[in-house]
Structure 1
Amino acid sequence: MPALLFLVFCASQVILIERALAQGSWKLLLDNAGIASMHTAVTRYNTVILLDRTNIGPSQINLPDGVCRNNADDLKQTVDCTAHSVLFNPADNSVRPLFIQTDTWCSSGQFVADGTLVQTGGDFDGLMKIRTFSPCSSSGSCDWVESSTEFLQDGRWYATNQLLPDGTQIVIGGRGAFTYEFIPANGRGKVALPFLEQTNDAQYDNLYPFVHLLPDGNLYIFANRDSIILNYQNNKVIKTFPTIPGEPRNYPSAGSSVMLPLLASDGYSKVEVLVCGGSQYGCYMNPSAYPTSSDTCGRIVVTDDEPAWNMKTMPYPRSMGDMVLLPTGDALIINGAERGCQGWGNQKDATLKPVIYSPSSAKFITQTGTTIPRVYHSTANLLQDGRVLVAGSNTHQYYDFTGEFPTELRIEAFSPEYMKSTYDGDRPRIVDAPGKVGYDESFTVTISIESEPAGYVGLSLLSVPFTTHSYAQGQRMLSLEVGLPVYVGGGQYEVSAKSPPYSTLAPSTYYMLFAVNEGVAGAAAWLRIS
């Protein structure tokens, strides 16, 4: 028996290695979405919110008949009858125009417990705005709502939002805003955060700080090249970390970051953060030089007593890349440029080939490239079916369809290797799963698999982030505690699971629940943790 188990284990490892080396594929979904998406978020109805800025003149999609935006402060036109946000439906690749009133340029956002997207700040008349979008089915008429009674306490341009365990969200930083605040405020005022001022260099490399909610309820905050753990409840910095080697990593240098998957197998106790790419210091001040982007990733165990950066070299230099956690636990690094930094026309040599980083092997696997450059103001988001939606790219202040990097209205999907039809026999399809579970709660997921699983079928819980400017705000993944699959007949198996034990691990909201068998993921079911 031990020899047989060893052979099964070896065969399983060969399969996983082969799949890790396999290539993903690309598909053009839509030639013209009407807008270039600067901000993108996936809703629990499997629709996708695409959002650009106002103040750019007409887009390529009209608002419904008779609807226009009237704004005397608009930079291009005071009456605008075109949309600057749309709702995209990946099921049929259709779009529906949405109405946004104030300027959302370089704003931020986060989904809250009931699945509503709370969206904050921007520029000009949007600087202190709070907006909401309550998703509906693809046949519905949901639209943006802008509050006329609740406003931000500081103007937030290039800020970062994070959903908190108590259901509120924290909004951190922004250009010239060295503070944080809460939505809803519930009587709480803005709070000074000196760390943001300390990391504010001449080219503002502390914008869109990378923020990760830790299992103990504190926040890991990375800005420029430095990072801290903040106890936001009493405004105490309780840990500082070594400076990451190399270049600045935040906007406008435009690296990216993910917190690697939290694992039930170690009690969710080990926390690692990955930071990749960026631009050389000074790029934003001398953009015509187009300096070579960073080719390094830094990985740090936040929970170590004496943490240190472990540096790796990527296959390509990359700034303006997006990092997407996949249900397999790997990190996709996609979009960006090999030279330059964020800003109008500040980039050269688009990085057309994504790479997949495996946390277990600490290696990068180069993937098949796209033909569409995605540089400044582009996005990438995981869809419920396992694909990655790629949208946006506009290196111009207004819509301009000329030059090396024209305003990009096309939408693509990148399908990681686990989507290949050759793996359909091993693909776990969720037949039944609860729509809602509490904390530390046992539940069962019924899956269908053509071939008998060789061992555990994993369950991955992934949030739906608000993605903009190379950072997915609120992105997190948990690998849940599961039992061995039990055959119940008809090609179906039951997998017992345990939900996260507390809200600091998974704040109450909607998540995508993926089943993963031998490195192959099926489509997700929506699960509300409450």
Structure 2
Amino acid sequence: MDSVLSRWVLFVFVVTIAQCNVWTRADLPGTWELLVANAGIASMHTAVTRYNTVVLLDRTNIGPSRKMLPRGHCRFDPKEAVLKRDCYAHSVVLDLKTNTVRPLMILTDTWCSSGQFLPDGTLLQTGGDMDGVKRIRKFQPCEAEGFCDWVELKDVELANGRWYATNQILPDGSVIIVGGRATNTIEYYPPRDGAVLFPFLSDAEDKQMDNLYPYLHLLPNGRLFIFANNKAVLYDHENNKIVRDYPPLDGGPRNYPSAGSSAMLALQGDYSTAVIVVCGGAQYGAFIQKSTDTPAHGSCGRIVATEADPVWQMEDMPFGRIMGDMVMLPTSEILIINGAQAGTQGFEMASNPCLFPVLYRPDQPIGLRFMTLNPGTVPRMYHSTANLLPDGRVLIAGSNPHYFYKFNAEFPTELRIEAFSPEYLSADRANIRPVIEGIPETVRYGEVFDVFISVSLPVVGIVELNLGSAPFATHSFSQGQRLVKLGVTSAIPDSNGRYKIGCTGPPNGMVAPPGYYMAFAVNQGVPSVARWIQLVA
């Protein structure tokens, strides 16, 4: 049996190498650029703010980073095993206009923590390890030249310790916090009546802990699709009740440490349908056996979570992939990027970087949905992130697949920040790229409003207006990620050479929770630079 398995592994390796030899960078769409040569930290948590800045976070007990705090700013912790007097930054904010970083002060350990933006645009950050396991932090973003910084709440803490938990904003603007290592409960921010037992996580747990960082998706009916291991439930958070069990997903566990990823497709039409995809992951047992070279699988499951009797539809990606990030693009396609083709999640437990991004085109028939894109050159392994930017690029950061900052390792600590530009930003499409000339700063649910755009060439067909959230990206899942396609009228030319588009805001917070969104005008598959709008009740 071992010889059969060995021949199979060799076959997969040879086929992969053959594919890589056939494709060249010039043949494939998409371009890469280096934004920052040294960000000072390796970001395991990344979030984009409404001021077009990016917050990056690492853990605090990693030892010296490569970015000093301002003079006179140090952390003092006699219990710290590495640096009791720590004058190094473990969080920074990136200015996208200048590609410069400013150090931030984070006091407690944010290792494998969770986060979500609140309706007022404040980034809520919860849990972590050691002294951070019950802590709640806030970052209220400001203009790039400002001095906003992290604030650790002193008068409130989490009811349970949260390490490897997941957050999701709810229709009323509160945040649900689900799970964590040895924490099979749910709680909320603002705090309610403590933690609530959630037995589903116990049912989904096994000896390799595959219920960590569960996948949460708020469905347009207000209920939560919660996925852990290979199981999923529909959860009524208002009554703390599991409404239904979904069929298990074939292909083994998908959550940490098996390192798949998940996204909800764009909400559109009458917003009654929600489709979830879950892709990639490690072979079961790779984590337990500490195997770094067991090939990852490339299977994806897709399910209509709102159907009466949903079933998983299976298909395969071009590559087996663990630790891939699924980024919802403004065009409703999904970019799958980062990760490795063998091993599992965890420190020094993966190999064979998957440098090829893949585009998932949900409207294509099965078998034609995946397109291989231009490969990068920087391995992005454990603790790397991917986030959509307002200009349509995707920010790529992080990779620290071992304890502490190491630069002489096979996969060194990665301080470079890159951007990947999908094909819609290519020069030959610039003349159909719309520019938003006018849009309200605030939109109420159900409100009818006008958006004005300009385009170099005459508009042909419908110009979409799509709202993209700013999620909290960590550990191959973007917490709170969603794209909502608004109802629009045909673009009508006006006397100023612009086009007017009539739009209707989302009907309620179940479709789009309150908060700030990137509003993209999309013309023939090409998005504008987004304008930030705030959805309010």
Q: TM-score, normalised by structure 1?
A: 0.95
Is residue 522 of structure 2 the alignment partner of residue 479 of structure 1? no
Matches of 1:456 and 1:22 in 2, distance apart? 28
Spell out, residue by residue over 1:326-358, the C-alpha distance to the aligned partner (whole angstroms, 9 max, x if none). Answer: 000000000000001111100000000100000
Q: 1:209 Cα shift?
A: 0.2
SS at match of 1:423: helix
> What's the secondary structure of 1:443's corresponding residue?
strand
Look up the match of 2:448: 442
Structure 2: state its 5+ residue gaps.
1-26
Structure 2 counterpart SS, 1:418: helix
Counterpart check, 1:278 vs 2:281: yes
The equivalences for 1:280-295 within 5 A come to 280-295=283-298
Is 1:95 aligned with 2:78? no
What corresponds to 2:427 in structure 1? 421
Distance (whole Å) between structure 1 residues aligned to residue 496 and residue 28 of structure 2: 31
The reply to whether residue 324 of structure 1 matches residue 333 of structure 2 is: no
SS for the counterpart of 2:510 is coil
Aligned to 1:17: none
Q: Does 1:309 align with 2:315?
A: no
The reply on whether 1:174 has 2:177 as its aligned counterpart is no
Q: What is the CA RMSD across the aligned residues, in angstroms?
A: 0.9
- Match for residue 358 of structure 1 among 350, 358, 361: 361
Once the two structures are superposed, what CA deviation does each residue of 1:400-422 show, in whole Å capped at 9, x if it has no partner? 11121000000000000111121
Q: Distance in 2 between matches of 1:268 and 1:22?
A: 34
Matched, 1:226 2:226: no
> Match of 1:238, as an amino acid?
V
Runs of 4+ in 1 over 3 A off after TM superposition: none
Partner residue of 2:195 out of 169, 190, 193: 190
Q: Which residue does 1:14 correspond to in 2?
A: none
Aligned to 2:246: 241
Select 1:348's aligned residue among 348, 351, 356.
Answer: 351
Report deviation, 1:22.
Answer: 6.5
| Distance (whole Å) between structure 2 residues aligned to residue 321 and residue 75 of structure 1 | 32
Offset at 1:69? Answer: 0.8
Q: Is the 8 A contact 2:31 2:374 kept in 1?
A: yes
Please report how far the alpha carbon of residue 247 of structure 1 lies from its aligned counterpart in structure 2 after TM superposition.
2.2
CA distance in 2, matches of 1:305, 1:232: 20
Rounded to whole Å, the distance in 1 between the matches of 2:291 and 2:520 is: 45
The Cα offsets for residues 262-320 of structure 1, whole Å up to 9 and x where unpaired, read as 01x2x011110000011111111112352111111110011111111111110000000
Q: For 2:395, what is the secondary structure of its paired residue? A: strand
Listed as ranges, the gaps of 5+ residues in structure 1 are: 1-20
CA distance in 2, matches of 1:277, 1:303: 23
Cα pair 1:164 1:213 within 8 Å, conserved: yes
Q: CA deviation at 1:208?
A: 0.3
User: 1:212 & 1:84 partners in 2: Cα distance?
Assistant: 29
Give CA deviations for 1:210-234 in whole Å, capped at 9, x if unaligned. 0000111110000000000000111
Moved more, 146-155 or 284-293: 284-293
Q: Which amino acid letter does the alignment assign opposite residue 297 of structure 1?
A: C
Partner residue in 1 for 2:5: none
Deviations along 1:411-467, one digit per CA (max 9) or x if unpaired, are 000000111121111111101100001000001110000111111100111100000
CA distance in 2, matches of 1:516, 1:289: 42
**Which secondary structure does the structure 1 equivalent of 2:494 belong to?**
strand
2:224 corresponds to 1:215 = no
Distance 1:73 1:56 in 2: 14
Distance 2:450 2:203 in 1: 49
After superposing the two structures, state which structure 1 stretch, 389-398 or 66-75, moved more: 66-75
Contact 1:56 1:75 in 2 (8 A): no
**Tell me, what secondary structure is at the counterpart of 1:277?**
strand
Give the counterpart letter for 1:170 in structure 2: I
CA contact (8 A) 2:292 2:342 kept: no
Q: How does 1:7-406 map to 2 (within 5 A)?
A: 23-185=29-191, 187-263=192-268, 265=269, 267-361=270-364, 362=366, 363-406=369-412
CA distance in 2, matches of 1:460, 1:283: 40
Alpha-carbon separation, structure 2, partners of 1:210 and 1:491:
45
SS in 1 for 2:167: strand
* Distance change >3 Å, CA 506–CA 277, structure 1 → 2: same
Could you tell me the TM-score, scaled by structure 2's length? 0.93
User: Deviation of residue 380 (structure 1)?
Assistant: 0.1
Q: Quick one: which of 455, 459, 466 aligns to 1:460?
A: 466
The answer to whether the 8 A contact 2:33-2:420 is kept is: yes
Tell me if the contact between 2:281 and 2:296 (Cα under 8 Å) persists in the aligned partners.
yes
CA distance in 1, matches of 2:345, 2:489: 46
Distance, in Å, in 2 between the alignment partners of 1:217 and 1:118 is 21
- 2:141 maps to amino acid: P
* Contact kept in structure 2, 1:247 and 1:294, CA below 8 Å: no
What is the CA distance between 1:486 and its match in structure 2? 0.6
Superposed displacement of residue 75, structure 1: 2.3
Measure the CA separation in 1 of the matches of 2:291 and 2:354.
Answer: 18
Q: C-alpha distance in 2, partners of 1:403/1:138?
A: 34
Alpha-carbon distance, 1:483 to partner: 0.1
Q: Give secondary structure in 1 for the equivalent of 2:278.
A: strand
Rounded Cα–Cα distance in structure 1 between residues aligned with 2:130 and 2:244: 36
The 1-side partners of 2:372 and 2:401 are apart by 26
Match of 2:18 in 1: none
SS, match of residue 425 in structure 1: helix
Tell me the percent identity.
53
